């Protein structure tokens, strides 16, 4: 039933209710007056008799008004005050931090009085707030855990460095470990701040026209030391003259994180491939690897904060990279998807709007 039909039905019901009520009151008053008036005529038509009939009719109106007021009071007690009290009690629980508060639908004589609709929206709001609170709690828990790990490692190695019998070789090794954990801690804090600014819309895209293939090549070259160290084969299939109008700095976060993951999860002698193709009005970037791959269950959560499907590589990351990638893709109006199979690697595909060939001329 449409909203207009509901409103019409609501109006008709109210009209009929008040029509019957007014008809009852007016009919009763008229019957009393006419009865008294008839008696006045039968026993002598005098002003005193007419005045008496009018006064009795007036008191009859007062009595009927009292009855209607009492009935309306009972109606309000049942149909208005009861649901309002439930809403207030649930709201107080929400204010005190109990986001599990829910209100059961109320049974009223008028199903279109709006209370059940308010209750429905209240319950949906409570459910959303409950989810946000859970995410906030998990976020704080995960951040605390991620901060403790490198700090504990740095503390342990710092304690070991204080040993006077420590060899120079060990001293250098421990110092490098502290430096590595310091870098990881700095990266974690940087990513948390970036993600927080992105999620709170404190970063606004600064779009400009640039060639996507050149940016991909520049970002890929930053990982040259890693692929040479691990003897990883690089395959590129980058179409030329793919022009997009977007935020170049934000997109560099996407490519750097995807390349970092590809090289991190690809073993020695593996392969990382990069392709860029035009797909109608889209530019499709695919970054694939021959790493460990992910399961379908992991794939459902891979873009969530702090989620790490492969715990064996947890020390190399903080589970924020792909969350950043997803948020940036959303901000610049693109989309990202992943195809993966355990033991056979993963393919991340990012699609972005591009300038038409006519616009590039």
Which phi and psi (to 5°) does residue 205 adopt? -60, 135
Integer-rounded Cα Rg, in Å, for the chain is 37
75's CB contacts (< 8 A; 6+ apart) are 109
Distances in whole angstroms, Cα of residue 154 to Cα of each of 79, 145, 164, 215: 65, 15, 18, 36
> Contact at 8 Å (CB) between 262 and 345?
no
Closest Cα to residue 179, out of 142, 148, 153?
A: 153
361's CB contacts (< 8 A; 6+ apart) are none
**What is the model's pTM?**
0.52
Give the pLDDT of the chain (361 residues) as one tens digit per residue: 444 444 444 556 666 766 777 777 777 777 776 776 666 666 655 566 666 666 776 777 777 777 777 777 777 776 777 778 888 888 888 888 777 888 887 766 555 557 778 888 888 888 877 766 665 665 566 566 667 767 888 888 888 888 888 888 888 888 888 888 888 788 777 767 766 666 665 566 678 899 999 999 998 988 888 899 899 999 999 998 899 998 888 888 889 889 988 898 898 999 999 999 998 889 999 999 998 888 777 666 677 655 555 444 444 444 566 877 888 888 888 899 988 888 888 999 999 988 655 444 4
- DSSP class per residue in 99-141: TT---PPP--S-TTSSHHHHHHHHHHHHHHHHHHHHHHHHHHH
Domains of the chain: 3-113 (no CATH), 139-199 (1.10.287.130), 208-360 (3.30.565.10)
> Contact at 8 Å (CB) between 79 and 32?
no
Measured from the Cβ of residue 221, the count of other Cβ atoms closer than 10 Å reads 9
């Amino acid at each position: 039933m449409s909203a207009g039909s509901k409103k019409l039905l609501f109006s008709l019901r109210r009209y009929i209710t008040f029509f019957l009520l007014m008809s009852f009151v007016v009919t009763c008053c008229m019957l009393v007056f006419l009865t008294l008036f008839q008696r006045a005529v039968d026993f002598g038509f005098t002003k005193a008799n007419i005045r008496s009939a009018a006064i009795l009719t007036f008191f009859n109106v007062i009595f009927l008004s009292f009855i209607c007021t009492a009935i309306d009071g009972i109606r309000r007690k049942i149909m208005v005050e009861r649901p309002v009290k439930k809403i207030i009690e649930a709201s107080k629980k929400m204010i005190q931090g109990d986001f599990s508060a829910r209100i059961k639908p109320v049974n009223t004589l008028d199903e279109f009085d709006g209370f059940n609709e308010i209750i429905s929206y209240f319950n949906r709001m409570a459910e959303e707030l409950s989810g946000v609170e859970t995410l906030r709690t998990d976020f704080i828990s995960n951040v605390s855990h991620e901060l403790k790990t490198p700090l504990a490692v740095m503390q342990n190695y710092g304690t070991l460095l204080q040993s006077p019998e420590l060899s120079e070789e060990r001293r250098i090794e421990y110092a490098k470990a502290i430096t590595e954990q310091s870098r990881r801690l700095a990266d974690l804090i940087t990513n948390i701040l970036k993600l927080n600014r992105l999620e709170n819309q404190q970063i606004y895209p600064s779009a400009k026209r640039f060639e996507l293939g050149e940016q991909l090549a520049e970002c890929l070259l930053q990982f040259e030391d890693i692929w040479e160290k691990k003897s990883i084969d690089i395959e590129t299939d980058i179409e030329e003259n793919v022009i997009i109008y977007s935020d170049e700095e934000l997109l560099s976060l996407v490519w750097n994180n995807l390349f970092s993951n590809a090289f991190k999860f690809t073993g020695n002698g593996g392969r990382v491939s990069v392709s860029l193709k035009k797909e109608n009005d889209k530019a499709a970037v695919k970054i694939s690897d021959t790493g460990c791959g992910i399961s379908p269950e992991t794939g459902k959560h891979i873009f969530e904060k702090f989620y790490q499907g492969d715990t064996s590589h947890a020390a190399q990351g903080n589970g924020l990279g792909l969350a950043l990638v997803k948020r940036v893709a959303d901000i610049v109006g693109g989309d990202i998807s992943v195809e993966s199979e355990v033991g056979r690697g993963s393919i991340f595909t990012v699609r972005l709007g591009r300038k038409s060939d006519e616009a590039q001329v």
